[in-house]
Amino acid sequence: MSGKVIGWAIGCMFALLLTMACSPLEAAESVLVFENPADEARYTALLEEYRCLKCQNQSLAGSRASLAQDLRREIYDRVVAGEPKSAIDEYLVARYGDFVLYRPRFTMATALLWIGPFVLLGIALVASVSIARRSGRNAPEPDVDALAEARRLLDEPLER
């Protein structure tokens, strides 16, 4: 038996072991089947847009919480049914509030969140401009005598 064949057999065994090791993890959630790749791409992109409420720093895409599984299933059904993102947003916000969206919508409640930084930037600009102007205006009047003395000293020919 050649070494090549033995190597191939060992490779197969490793592959088999790996499959066996992985399968219990995969079995936890049924694999979703998409009829067209556009739906799948939309679904995958959408999952990154929503927060898992159970583990708040994870998106629905990354979370293994059972709530995230339920919501993934719900979003899958809606994507396959062709619902627009706005409708899916609406569904989730009605249940969990704006917090579920990683990019909050612009509403009265979130207005401060969106425009607050620009307001602060505006205040900072106005403040710095006015401070700069004021310090220019308040600078002491130049001392005429001292200036004349300085000019005379500069104009004086060097002795050495």
Partner 1 sequence: MLLKLLPLAVFAALAGFLWKGLSLNPGELPSPLIDRPAPVFSVATLDAALAGDVGADSGTDVEAGAGDKDGDGTGTGADGGTGVVAAFDSSHMEGQVWLLNVWASWCGPCAQEHPQLVDLAASRDVPIVGLNYKDDPNDAYAWLGRYGNIFSDVLSDVDGSVGLDWGVYGVPETFVIDGDGRVRFKHVGPILAEDLENTILPILDELSAVAGAGA
Residue 33 binds partner 1, judged by CB under 8 A: no
Considering the complex, state which of residue 54 and residue 85 has its C-beta at the smaller distance from partner 1.
Answer: 54
Phi and psi angles of residue 23, each rounded to the nearest 5 degrees, phi first: -60, -35
The two three-digit tokens of residue 134, written as one number: 């004021």
Binding mask 114-143 for partner 1 (x = CB under 8 A): -------------x--xx------------
> b or e along 92-119 (b: 16 or more beta carbons within 10 Å of the residue's beta carbon)?
bbeeeeeebbeeeeeeeeeeeeeeeeee
CA-closest candidate to residue 80, choices 45, 40, 31: 40
List 53, 60, 75, 79, residue binding partner 1 (CB under 8 A):
53
**Minimum CB separation from partner 1 for residue 11, in Å?**
42
Interacting residues with partner 1 (CB under 8 A):
53-54, 56, 66-67, 70-71, 74, 93-97, 99, 127, 130-131
